[in-house]
Amino acid sequence: MNKKFFLLGGCLVAAIGSALAQQAVTPPQPLSFFVTSTGIGKGADLGGLAGADAHCQQLAAAAGSSKKAWRAYLSTQAANGQPAVNARDRIGNGPWFNAKSVQVAKDVAHLHGDTLDGARLGNNLSRTTALTEKGEPVKGAGDKPNQHDIVTGSLPDGRAFADAADHTCSNYTSGAVEGSVQVGHFDRTGGGNTSWNSAHGSRGCSLEKLESSGGAGLFYCFAAD
């Protein structure tokens, strides 16, 4: 055997062995991102931001999360003298990992594709990584029922809408038949829009209306600590 080839082969084997050893000792990352396994049951009426945050906290605690500050990925629009709130400003700095210790985004800029490279490469949020707090997949396009519409009330950059239309079902306090809330597609498919956080508006605010367009009142939760 060629001596040079033997040396190169040995180095390659050593490098692979070192990488595998390093991977083996890498500790699992604690849960810091999930799609809610259940909605609150009132359509887009989540009890406002406080109610949605509490739901995230409750589900995370039941899943054994060690994180203390959970936030719903929701934007609110300016109303009643209160300023708008951007979803991207509520969720901490990252990185965020799902229940299987897979990283979905390293920071806020990566999550939203703020830079040219970030927009080109995209985050790692997809049908296979957007799991519930239990580590279970969510029903997406092609499943019955399809529940890929995730409530966000947000623009693609994670900020609130600034126009006069209601994109948040009265800031998540309405479960009426009328109205609309902006949703994303966690599975990055359907309706010609692959946005995880801003695919389209819902047909109404009630649970029945959310279900009619492929939703279940589910939303994203991020650990902010």
Tell the burial category of 21 from Cβ atoms under 10 Å away from its Cβ (0-12, 13-18, 19+).
Answer: exposed
| pLDDT tops 60 at residue 8 | no
pLDDT at 218: 98
Q: In terms of residue numbers, what domain contains 217? A: 26-223
Residue partners of 58: CB distance under 8 A and separation at least 6: none
Q: Which of 37, 39, 8, 17 is nearest to 207 (CA)?
A: 39
* pLDDT average, residue stretch 77-104: 97
136 in any annotated domain: yes
pLDDT at 6: 40
**Widest CA span in the chain:** 80
Measured CA distances, 193 to 5, 19, 184, 199 (Å): 50, 38, 9, 6
Q: Do residues 149 and 222 touch, judged by C-beta distance below 8 A?
A: no
Question: For residue 205, which amino acid is it?
Answer: C
Q: Which sign, positive or negative, has the C-alpha torsion 183, 187, 193, 197?
A: positive
| Residues contacting 94, CB < 8 A, separation 6+ | 32, 105, 106, 107, 108, 110, 111
pTM: 0.87
Is residue 18 assigned to a domain? no
Whether 5 is in a domain gets the answer no
pLDDT at residue 121 greater than cutoff 80? no
Q: How many domains does the chain have?
A: 1
Answer whether residue 215 shows pLDDT above 80: yes
6 in a domain, yes or no? Answer: no
Residue 21 lies in a domain: no
- Residue 12 included in any domain: no
Q: Which one, of 117, 115, 108, 118, lies nearest residue 154 by Cα? A: 108
pLDDT at 71: 98
> Is position 111 within any domain?
yes
- CATH number for the domain harbouring residue 99: 3.10.100.10
Contacts of 221 (CB under 8 A, 6+ apart): 33, 34, 35, 36, 55, 56, 59, 60, 70, 71, 72, 73, 133
**For 171-203, what is each residue's pLDDT tens digit?**
999 999 999 999 999 999 987 788 999 999 999
